[in-house]
Amino acid sequence: MSHSFTIGIFGAGKVGTALARLGIAAGNSVLVSGSPRHTHTQMLLDVVAPGAVEAGSAEVMVRASDLVIIAVPFAKSDEIDYGLFTGTIVVDAMNYWPAVDGVVADIERAELGNSEFIAMRNPRGRWVKSLNHLGYQELAEAAAEGTRGRLAIGLAGDDGDAKAVVSAWLDDIGFDPVDVGALADGRRLETGGAIFGRSLSRGEFALSLGLVES
C-alpha cells in the first residue's frame, strides 16, 4: 500500500537526485535543498528529477516533510543546521570514508558509528541510519513489491516509530526494508561491512549479517 509522504532531501547530487526520482515515481511530494553555492538547483531537478522542487529554505523544507534525508558528502555535513531536526525523522544516508573525506579525529576518538556521531549534533532528532550501503546506480534497481530478487535496504535506529515510517517509505519506493537494530548497529551498514556495496535480496542480506541462520 502506497503512502502519501512529503520527503525532504539535503543534497542534489547523484544520490539525492536518485532518491528524488524514486520518491516522485512513488507519488511523493519531494523537496530538495541543494548547496547554497549552486544557483541552478531547480534547473538541475527539472532535468534529472522532474517533479522535485527546490526548497525555499532548509527550515521550510524540514517543517513541511514527513521525513528528511541527508544525502550530502560527509565532508560537507558540517554545513547543515542540525538544530532544525528536533522532533523530525532524519535518515542519515552519509558515509564517513577516510580515504575520501580525510580522517575526522572526533569520530576516530569517539569510537562511534557514523550515525551515532552525527546524531550527537541534535539528540532530539529521530535518527535512522539507512540508504548508505548502496550506490546511486543500485538505487535505480528499485522494483515493485513481490518482485523476485527485490533489493534489500537496511535501517537502524533507536526510535521504533521513526523506523516504521522509514520502512514504509522504503517499501513504497521499491525496496525490501531490513531492520538491523539500534542506531549503534548501523555500523554494520558502513563502509567495509559485509553488505556494503552489495546488491542483495532480503534473504541474502539477512544471511550476510547473521540475522538468520543458513
Q: Domain coordinates of the chain in residue numbers?
A: 6-208
Q: Name residue 200's amino acid.
A: L
pLDDT exceeds 70 at position 2:
no
Query: What CATH homologous superfamily does 6-208 map to?
Result: NAD(P)-binding Rossmann-like Domain (3.40.50.720)
pLDDT in tens, 103-127: 888 888 878 899 999 999 999 999 9
Q: What is the pLDDT of residue 100?
A: 79
Tell me, what DSSP letter sits at residue 150?
Answer: P
pLDDT in tens, 29-74: 999 998 766 678 999 999 999 999 999 899 999 999 999 999 999 9
SS3 content of the chain, % helix, strand, coil (to 5): 40, 20, 40
C-alpha cell read off for 84 = 532544525
Indicate left, alpha or beta for 5 from its phi (over 0: left) and psi (-120 to 50: alpha). Answer: beta
Q: Is the pTM of this model over 0.75?
A: yes
- Inter-residue contact 74 to 106 (CB < 8 Å): no
Q: What is the pLDDT of residue 204?
A: 95
Place of cell 527485490: 150
Integer Rg of the chain from CA: 16
Q: What is the pLDDT of residue 98?
A: 83
Q: What is the pLDDT of residue 175?
A: 97
Q: From CA 79, how far away is CA 36, in angstroms rounded?
A: 10
pLDDT exceeds 80 at position 214:
no
Confidence of residue 102 (pLDDT cuts 50, 70, 90): confident
Angle at the Cα of 180 from the Cα atoms of 184 and 89, rounded to 5 degrees: 70
pLDDT in tens, 176-205: 999 999 999 999 999 989 999 999 999 999
